[in-house]
Structure 1
Amino acid sequence: MNTAAFSSLPLNPALLENIASLGYTHLTPIQAETLPPILEGKDVIAQAKTGSGKTAAFGIGVLSRLEFNRFNVQALVICPTRELADQVCKEIRRLARFTQNVKVLSLCGGVPFGPQLGSLEHGVHIVVGTPGRLQEHLRKRSLRLNHLKVLVLDEADRMLDMGFEEAISDVISYAPTHRQTLLFSATYADPIREISKKFQFKPITVSIDSSHHDSVIGQHFYQVDKARRMSALGYLLAYHRPESTVVFCNTKRECQDIASTLDNCGFSVQALHGDLEQKHRDQVLVRFANKSCSVLVATDVAARGLDIKELQAVINYELPWDPEIYVHRIGRTGRAGKLGLALSLCTEAELPRVKAIEDYQGVAAKWDEVAPFPMAYAERFQPPMVTLWIDGGRKNKLRPGDILGALTGDAGLAGSAIGKIDIFDDHAYVAVSQDSVDEALAWLKRGKIKGRSFMVRKSQWG
């Protein structure tokens, strides 16, 4: 494993100090391979999965190229989903804390157009956005790329899968020819090579081994009859009791059916699929990320851009046809040195898919058995946290520290009882442990946050 330190790179001392304060000391393999050529201004095409440290790699590269005293768009990051764009923005802002002057703006669909226009008029250094909304701004001339220095295509394979190739080409047509182009993808198939040929100049190619080893992810396969698949899923969830599990299935209909069945059995579960409105999608992701929902049933398309820090298990209710998709699915667990679980159900007819996975990974499948499981209602599958919804957000100048301070100070709750806090424009969510939630709710209903009273309730959508 590469153990080079960030301090070995030719970086601004203030940026280095900030990187150290964030707890980053040594480069991940993808950072060690990509940062030197990125800092030299070369084009790079890198194969790396989610969670490999790629965002910090291109984020540091981008920040090193900026002229902070010029308030025009110098870097553009194109992402497949709003969730991923939001994560990239957060990471770049964290990396940019060494200077007060960096303006980072997210331009994504599903949110009002007006406020984005206002932000662009005030001057922005870095734009992170989804193809469709970027096209809109470029056509309206509210976004101009004349001064662009760095273009980043993040999760390029997912963008192609989602049919964004034409939109990406259109966005790039507004950018100067003389620029640095960085392309990151979990896979390195022919369409990615074609995109690289079209938009990059003599790129440096970096490929980090994307296979998963048992020291990080325990992979187990279970052969079941089609009629017993649901019962087998219930058994695996009840046996392993993971606090956070994504169950992958192949269709939206199946996704909803599985979630409904698990809900009827007392599991804490929500469905994530393409038919959800953005508001409901946000709620689902908030509750899953803050551990007040334990099981997320998702399709591959809906889960793109999903980045949950401590995902304990991935279950393939049905195996995908493509072994690369299997590897991408299970790569969401077993991060940061923690052991992850990848559990896969398959029928006899699907055995060729297991063979394809074995060939792709170069490792024999481990087979286990499931016991019969009665799909009956039980209270015992409750998650560790409960989400409270607060009727106030950014527009009310509400910050996470205000909510945390109210609960741990005035209300007297232990800091360990408070989980993740998410602030949106008009509302906020706070996760509170099951045994403290009633006390927190009662206090927030009669007490004040930042000197103001807000409506508060348990968030139970799903």
Structure 2
Amino acid sequence: MPTSFATLNLPETQLTNLENLGYQHMTAIQAEALPHALQGADLIAQAKTGSGKTAVFGITLLAKLDPQNFVSQALVLCPTRELSTQVANEIRRLARYQANVKVVVLCGGQPLAPQAASLEHGAHVIVGTPGRINDHIGKRTIDLSHIHTLVLDEADRMLEMGFMEDIGKIISLTPKYRQTLLFSATYPDDIKRLSAQFQRTPVQVKADTLHQANAINQLSFICNKSERLQALETLLAHFKPSSAVIFCNMKVGVREITEHLSQLGFSVKALHGEMEQRDRDEVFVQFKHHSFNLLIATDVAARGLDIEDLPCVINYELPHDPAIYTHRVGRTGRAGKEGLALNLLTDAERHKLADIGIAQKAELPFEVISALKGSQLTPRQPPNATLCIAAGRKEKVRAGDILGALTGEGGINGKAVGKIDVLDYAAYVAVERSVAKQAITRLLNSTIKGRKFKAKLL
């Protein structure tokens, strides 16, 4: 039986906001964890990506927040900037039922000074990566002495990335009697040690840590190493995914595939760790907007990549670690929807597939790539284009302001406007490709909040 959020002791305004945001019923992890968390218990929550865990700690920390007190009261540590940004955006959405809740993101790839200025003006909730938060500690631009709720999101990944020392230093500056919520897709020994060091008699909950076999259809195909690119073409021709993330183990593979598929006429972009952060942000937003179809990525995108209804993930190369495989395929089949995971491997890599099967407690069959029926390779054109506006939250620009500028008198039809993402210093708008030129002309000749801003078509 679905469990309603109304069974929790939440304000009526918060319940109304949850309903408006599309939170109809609690997911398994929400139903297991929220009653304990709202009572103030420390928590170890083991759950797969896409299970609704952000709402667990978001609702919990907001329940104790005092918006009238302009000190940092909640801290969320995440492994990557991408995940930090998504978590912060979701907390802002969850906080709409109360006024003036300020959420600040502290991650690398941005200068320290503007972040320090945001902290100086008061931030109720801090979301960020351990490395950048420690940078602020070193500069004495952050005060963690009033933190009542500490969240370690995707703790296993943070430990894999070598953040244990940073995490320890950060936690040592928070109050002893705080609530600590730890979320992890896996529960290895180092997570147990982390919990023992920083939590007080935590309640342990577990829900949907492995993707259900019927939620993600996992198909594996053997090919020769020299024929891997042609095997990828075969997968795209046979399964014809409308959108997909193609994972590689190294950036050299990302560049090779991106160039190859571009030459074949596919709408494709690359994402890897050596890109500038702004470029990574723009690629990520465009993919969310369905402004290109195929994202070629290293594992920098395996965490924090939250795309609604992503139909397909392709492992061009299997990872060495089964846990990374789990995070990759977790981009599809989210929230109970069906997904497709396609794997390419050589005969020498069969042990990787066997290890993944052991981790999933299931046998993963495979067949030769030549077994797939031949089909014509027909690249799709993406349905949308993305516009970038040189104004964001710092200029008090809201999504409704941008929509009004586009659709006002003589403007484009509102149905042609899709997602609008407003970041600190820029905003991104998805529009139907057929009206993209009209939309950018409209923005360049209109005002937003009474001002003209630069805009471009990405």
TM value normalised by structure 2: 0.92
Separation in structure 2 between the aligned mates of residue 278 and residue 12 of structure 1, nearest angstrom? 39
Letter in 2 for 1:145: L
Alignment of 1:68-87 (within 5 A): 68-87=67-86
Amino acid paired to 1:7: A
Q: Which runs of 5+ in 2 are unaligned?
A: none
Closer, same or farther in 2 for the Cα pair 1:266/1:67, shift >3 Å? Answer: same
Which sections of structure 1, spanning at least 5 residues, go unmatched? none
**3-state SS in 1 of match to 2:434:** coil
| 1:3 counterpart residue number | 2
Aligned-partner SS, 1:181: strand
SS of alignment partner, residue 457 of structure 1: strand
Q: 8 Å contact 1:49–1:331 — kept in the other structure? A: yes
- The equivalent of 2:219 in structure 1 is 220
Is the 1:314–1:329 contact (alpha carbons within 8 Å) kept by the matching residues of 2? yes
* Residues 35-84 of structure 1: per-residue CA shift (max 9 Å, x gap): 11111211111111221110100111111222343322221111111221
User: Once structures 1 and 2 are overlaid, which stretch shifts more, 115-124 or 152-161?
Assistant: 115-124
For 2:341, give the aligned amino acid. A
Q: What residue number does 1:414 align with? A: 413
Q: Name the counterpart of 1:401.
A: 400
Do the aligned residues in 2 keep the contact of 1:272 with 1:299 (CA within 8 Å)? yes
Partner of 1:432: 431
**Which moved further from structure 2: 443-452 or 263-272?**
443-452
Q: Secondary structure at the match of 1:336?
A: helix
**Which residue does 2:143 correspond to in 1?**
144
8 Å contact kept, 1:131–1:167: yes
In structure 1, how many angstroms separate the alpha carbons of the residues matched to 2:17 and 2:68?
A: 20
In structure 2, C-alpha distance between the alignment counterparts of 1:66 and 1:423, rounded to whole Å: 24
Aligned partner of 1:389 in structure 2 is 388
Q: Distance in 1 between matches of 2:440 and 2:377?
A: 25
The one-character-per-residue Cα deviations of 1:232-255 (angstroms, maximum 9, x if unpaired) are 112222333323211111112112
- The superposition leaves residues 212-246 of structure 1 with CA deviations (integer Å, 9 ceiling, x where unpaired) of 23432111111111111111112222333323211
Deviation at 1:396, TM superposition (A): 4.4
Q: What TM-score, normalized by structure 1, do the two folds share? A: 0.92
Q: Say which is worse superposed, 212-221 or 434-443, in terms of deviation.
A: 434-443
Following the alignment from structure 1 to structure 2, what is the Cα–Cα distance between the partners of residues 38 and 223?
46
Rounded to whole Å, the distance in 1 between the matches of 2:34 and 2:108 is 31
User: Which residue identity is paired with 1:165?
Assistant: M
Alpha-carbon displacement from aligned partner over 1:192-213 (angstroms, at most 9, x marks no partner)? 1111111111111112232223
Q: Distance in 2 between matches of 1:71 and 1:241?
A: 52
Change (3 A) 1:167 1:189: same
Percent of counterpart pairs with the same letter?
53
CA contact (8 A) 2:220 2:344 kept: yes
User: Structure 1 stretch 339-348 or stretch 7-16: which is displaced more?
Assistant: 7-16
Taking structure 1 as reference, are residues 241 and 419 closer, same or farther at Cα in structure 2, changes over 3 Å only?
farther
Partner of 1:222, secondary structure, is strand
Report the 3-state secondary structure (helix = DSSP H, G, I; strand = E; otherwise coil) of the residue aligned with 2:335. Answer: coil
What SS class does the counterpart of residue 143 from structure 2 fall into? coil
Q: 1:332 to 1:24 in 2, by over 3 A?
A: same
RMSD of equivalent CA atoms: 2.3
**Matches of residues 263-342 of structure 1 in structure 2 within 5 Å?**
263-342=262-341
| Counterpart code for 2:262 | D
| Contact 1:266-1:378 within 8 A present in 2 as well | no
CA offsets 1:405-445 (integer angstroms, 9 cap, x no match) = 23233344232322222334444322222222233234444
Aligned equivalents of 1:228, 1:127: Cα separation in 2: 47
Tell me if structure 2 keeps the 8 A contact 1:249–1:318: yes
Deviation at 1:451, TM superposition (A): 5.0
Q: CA deviation at 1:182?
A: 0.8
Q: 2:410 and 2:248 mapped to 1: Cα distance?
A: 43
Shift of 1:169: 0.8
Distance in 2 of aligned mates of 1:58 and 1:140: 28
The answer to whether the 8 Å contact 2:48/2:211 transfers is no
> Is residue 50–residue 307 contact of structure 1 (8 Å, CA) maintained in 2?
no
- Distance in 2 (alpha carbons) for counterparts of 1:429 and 1:371: 42
Cα offset for 1:86? Answer: 1.4
Which AA in structure 2 matches 1:255? V
CA separation in 2, counterparts of 1:411 and 1:364? 59
Q: How many residues align?
A: 455
Structure 1's 291 and 164: CA in aligned 2 closer, same or farther, altered over 3 A? same
Establish whether residue 47 from structure 1 lines up as the match of residue 71 from structure 2: no
> Superposed, which structure 2 residues align to 1:241-260 within 5 Å?
241-260=240-259
In structure 2, the residue matched to 1:33 is 32
Alpha-carbon displacement from aligned partner over 1:149-191 (angstroms, at most 9, x marks no partner)? 1111011111112111111111111112111111101111111
Give, in whole Å, the separation in 1 of the partners of 2:404 and 2:370: 47
Paired residue secondary structure (1:169)? helix
Preserved CA contact (<8 Å) 1:138 1:174: no
Q: Does 1:155 align with 2:160?
A: no
